[in-house]
């Protein structure tokens, strides 16, 4: 494989699609050696096929706001790769959504889903709809209008969307209600992240955050360290950050910083159960302001405008919000303040410069596609429950999630161990996911 040649071709073909090009580059650089040991991959042009999505749907979404004004957004579904299972991945509602962003996320999803050990292909979708400041009724009308188009593209054995940034249990409810009306079928398996009384997995809301902490525990265990009493900074206060804060606190760590687009909240004594519960209120308010935590808990949470979570001295950094949210300068500040571990929970949360800085300075680093795979893995478990018309209790789902995260960690170690015995989790995760998808593509012929 000539990585440089492939990248140059993609850069010329997709100018400006920086996140997608960055994601492709990271995977190609990781798998190059292994790929070259398999001439059959080269012959079948596996890489050239794998970097292109199978198809992208684009559609207009028109809805009416509370003031009676007609609003129009654009909706997308990128069905990236279905070599090992039906398309699977979340829906993102955020003002910055572009087809290119969803392409990069769909590409990443393909490898992440392969790591889960479950049969799921990769997809991503969403809209440039901005939920900030929207009322509950506006959210509902938008979800209904979005599903008017999306329902034609999805199905339990075809493509199974779920939540992502800006899409949680409430949005999945509205989306499912409209799907059911259009399809005239109670097809629970068509979406995951559903409510507990109508086919949802009881642990899905917590799963991404819980899984991330299970992975972090395995990484620390391998490094001969313990999470107890360690200080943690995390970004965001959505579903993922909430699950991560819950599990980190339960395991005895101290979450001393959470952040939002407006700034950071320093919580010197560590986040409490009441504060974790309040994160859900903050998310549901659609205000998108972390300052609300400091207003609600004066004397315990201290807000600084314009600062990131990475400015607070901690042992472990957990980016939980958005891609590229941790820059090389942030990495330097973290390390200068004593941070020695960063587990990326958001998809591609760290910029390449930050990853290199961590790796060059012996900081434990693991990528989002391994760390956050517990979310989609639990979606996979939800799909199994829906297909078999059964429901597992929280303990059973948690045990399975734990087992999956252990297995993802083992795959990273298997494919990422360096000659000196340390682990390159980026390389390990990419090779493990790649080998599974590439082998399936090869066996299914040139299509």
By the 8 A CB rule, do 244 and 345 touch?
Answer: yes
**From 124, 231, 300, 436, the catalytic residue:** 124
Supply the minimum distance, in Å, between the C-beta of residue 64 and ligand GLU. Answer: 28
Q: Of the candidates 188, 129, 185, 91, which has an alpha carbon nearest to the alpha carbon of residue 391?
A: 188
Report, in Å, the least distance between residue 113 CB and ligand GLU: 8
**Is residue 379 near ligand GLU by the rule CB under 6 A?**
yes
Closest approach, Cβ 382 to ligand GLU, in A, equals 8
- Residue 199 and residue 388 in contact, taking contact as beta carbons nearer than 8 Å: no
Q: Which stretch binds ligand GLU (CB under 6 A): 254-262, 284-292, 373-381, 418-426?
A: 373-381
Question: Which residue lies nearer to ligand GLU by CB, 17 or 382?
Answer: 382
Residue 116 touches ligand GLU, criterion: CB under 6 A: no
Instruction: Name the residue nearer to ligand GLU (CB basis): 88 or 436.
Output: 88
Q: Is 254 a catalytic residue?
A: no
338 burial level (CB within 10 Å; 0-12, 13-18, 19+): exposed
Residue of 30, 73, 127, 192 interacting with ligand GLU (CB under 6 A): 192
List binders of ligand GLU among 130-159 (CB under 6 A): none
CB of 142 vs ligand GLU, minimal distance in Å = 18
C-beta of 311 vs 430, nearer to ligand GLU: 430
Three-class SS state of 261: coil
Per CB under 6 A, the list member of 376, 401, 432, 441 interacting with ligand GLU is: 376
Fill in the per-residue mask, 56 to 95: x = in contact with ligand GLU (CB under 6 A), - = not in contact: --------------------------------xxx-----
CA–CA distance, 158 with 163 (Å, rounded to integer): 17
Our finding on whether 351 is near ligand GLU (CB under 6 A) is no
Q: 127: closest CA among 146, 151, 108?
A: 146
Considering the complex, state which of residue 200 and residue 263 has its C-beta at the smaller distance from ligand GLU.
200
Q: Are 97 and 128 in contact (CB under 8 A)?
A: yes
Rounded CA gap, 413 and 179, in Å? 41
| The one among 78, 147, 162, 233 contacting ligand GLU by CB under 6 A | 162
Residue 325 zone, left/alpha/beta (φ > 0; ψ -120 to 50; rest)? alpha
Binding to ligand GLU by residue 427, rule CB under 6 A?
Answer: no
Contact 52, 14 (CB under 8 A): no
Supply the DSSP string of 66-79, one letter for each residue. Answer: TTS-EEEEEEEEEE
Q: Report yes or no: 62 and 35 within 8 Å, Cβ to Cβ.
A: no
Rg of the chain, C-alpha, whole Å: 21
Q: How far is the CB of 200 from ligand GLU (least distance, A)?
A: 12
CB of 88 to ligand GLU, least distance (A): 5
Give the strand order in the sheet containing 316-318.
Answer: 302-305, 263-266, 254-260, 231-235, 316-318, 341-343, 364-366
Residues known to be catalytic: 124
Q: Which residues bind ligand GLU (CB under 6 A)?
A: 88-90, 162-164, 192, 347, 375-376, 379
């Amino acid at each position: 494989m000539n990585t440089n040649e492939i990248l140059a071709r993609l850069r010329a073909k997709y100018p400006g699609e920086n996140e997608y090009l960055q994601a492709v580059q990271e995977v190609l650089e990781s798998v190059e050696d292994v790929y070259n040991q398999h001439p059959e991959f080269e012959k079948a042009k596996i890489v050239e096929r794998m970097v292109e999505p199978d198809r992208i749907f684009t559609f207009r979404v028109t809805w009416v706001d509370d003031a009676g004004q007609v609003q129009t957004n654009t909706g997308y579904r990128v069905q990236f790769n279905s070599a090992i299972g039906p398309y699977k991945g979340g829906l993102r509602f955020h003002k910055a959504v572009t087809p290119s962003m969803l392409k990069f996320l769909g590409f990443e999803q393909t490898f992440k889903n392969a790591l889960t050990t479950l049969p799921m292909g990769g997809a991503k979708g969403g809209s440039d709809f901005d939920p900030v400041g929207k009322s509950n009724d506006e959210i509902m009308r938008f979800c209904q209008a979005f599903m008017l188009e999306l329902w034609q593209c999805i199905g339990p054995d075809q493509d199974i969307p779920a939540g992502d940034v800006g899409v949680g249990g409430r949005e999945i409810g509205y989306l499912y209600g409209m799907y059911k009306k259009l399809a005239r079928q109670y097809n629970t398996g068509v979406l995951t992240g559903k409510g507990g009384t109508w086919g949802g997995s009881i642990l899905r809301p917590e799963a991404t955050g819980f899984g991330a902490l299970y992975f972090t525990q395995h990484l620390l265990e391998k490094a001969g360290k313990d999470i107890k009493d360690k200080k943690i900074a995390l970004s965001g206060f959505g579903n993922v950050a909430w699950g991560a804060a819950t599990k980190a606190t339960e395991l005895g760590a101290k979450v001393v910083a959470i952040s939002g687009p407006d700034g950071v909240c320093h919580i010197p004594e560590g986040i409490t159960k009441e504060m974790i519960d309040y994160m859900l209120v903050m998310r549901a308010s659609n205000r998108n302001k972390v300052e609300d935590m400091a207003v609600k808990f004066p004397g315990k949470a201290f807000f600084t405008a314009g600062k990131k979570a990475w400015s607070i001295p901690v042992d472990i950094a957990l980016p939980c919000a958005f891609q590229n949210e941790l820059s090389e300068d942030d990495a330097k500040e973290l390390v200068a303040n004593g941070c020695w571990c960063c587990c990326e929970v958001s998809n591609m949360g760290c910029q390449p410069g930050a990853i290199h800085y961590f790796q060059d300075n012996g900081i434990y680093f693991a990528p989002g596609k391994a760390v956050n795979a517990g979310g989609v893995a639990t979606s996979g478990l939800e799909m199994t429950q829906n297909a078999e018309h059964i429901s597992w209790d929280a303990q059973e789902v948690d045990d399975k999630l734990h087992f999956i995260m252990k297995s993802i960690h083992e795959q990273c170690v298997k494919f990422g161990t360096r000659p000196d015995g340390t682990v390159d989790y980026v390389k390990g995760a990419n090779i493990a996911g790649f080998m599974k998808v590439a082998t399936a593509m090869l066996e299914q012929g040139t299509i």
